[in-house]
């Protein structure tokens, strides 16, 4: 019977204290693991955000550079096109002056049906044939 009291009075309280201490230790370890896991997830999220930010900055930089190159290219193409148009306009102006001169000079021929703008003109003869 004294053994029974020893178990009730000494062993069980010590066991419950030990169990409680073990339970508290287990909860502390679990809390530590959860906090470490949370910190790892937070670190991964911050790292991912940094990588995405760098990628966005690089993408924006590439897009801005491409836009800049496109603007320079089209500005150059526009300058070249403008130069070609002005050369064409100069040729057209010269042709217009020449046409005006030939129209006034060939007015008598046009009245007779042989001047510029008629089917019997020498310029149209290869395509339409000469007409009397």
42 φ, ψ (degrees, to nearest 5): -65, -45
Q: Which pLDDT band holds residue 92 (cuts at 50, 70, 90)?
A: low
Q: What single string gives the DSSP state of each residue in 79-109?
A: HHHHHHHHHHHHHHHHHHHHHHHHHHHTHHH
pLDDT digits (tens, 9 = 90+) for 6-17: 666 776 677 777
Is the pLDDT at 49 greater than 90? The verdict is yes
Q: What is the pTM of this model?
A: 0.39
Distance CA 19, CA 128 (A): 118
3-state SS string over 4-49? HHHHHHHHHHHHHHHHHHHHHHHHHHHHHHHHHHHHHHHHHHHHHH
């Amino acid at each position: 019977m004294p053994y029974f009291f020893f178990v009730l009075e000494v062993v069980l309280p010590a066991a419950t204290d030990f169990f409680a201490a073990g339970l508290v230790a287990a909860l502390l370890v679990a809390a530590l693991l959860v906090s470490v896991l949370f910190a790892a997830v937070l670190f991964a999220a911050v790292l991912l955000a940094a990588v995405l930010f760098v990628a966005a900055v690089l993408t924006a930089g590439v897009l801005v550079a491409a836009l800049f190159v496109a603007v320079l290219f089209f500005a150059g193409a526009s300058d070249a096109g403008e130069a070609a148009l002005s050369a064409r306009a100069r040729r057209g102006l010269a042709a217009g002056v020449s046409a005006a001169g030939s129209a006034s000079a060939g007015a008598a021929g046009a009245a007779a049906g042989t001047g510029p703008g008629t089917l019997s003109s020498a310029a149209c003869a290869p395509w339409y044939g000469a007409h009397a």
